[in-house]
Amino acid sequence: MAHPSRKARTASLHDEAYAELVQAVVKKRLKSGLSQQAVADALGWNQSIIAKIESVQRRMDAIELIRIA
């Protein structure tokens, strides 16, 4: 199976639907009263990963979305 090009993989960062997904994740985190640090601690990640996902600097894959959810 061919791997998508880097350009194709990062195109989703600029897709309106992806931005809406990230906004929904942020909204849910805030509604839950959780900080980025609290989410990161629960997942065993660095807070900077959550910040990059929420600022659409880093693409979240399906498994990461499931873990965050």
Q: What is the pTM of this model?
A: 0.79
User: Cα torsion at 20, 26, 31, 35 (round to 10°)?
Assistant: 180
Q: What residues in the chain have per-residue pLDDT under 50?
A: none
Look at residue 26 in the predicted model and tell me its pLDDT: 98
Q: Locate 16 and state its tokens.
A: 């309106």
Query: Cβ(48)–Cβ(5) under 8 Å?
Result: no
Query: Cβ(60)–Cβ(22) under 8 Å?
Result: yes
Look at residue 13 in the predicted model and tell me its pLDDT: 78
Look at residue 14 in the predicted model and tell me its pLDDT: 81
Q: Locate 18 and state its tokens.
A: 């992806």
Look at residue 53 in the predicted model and tell me its pLDDT: 97
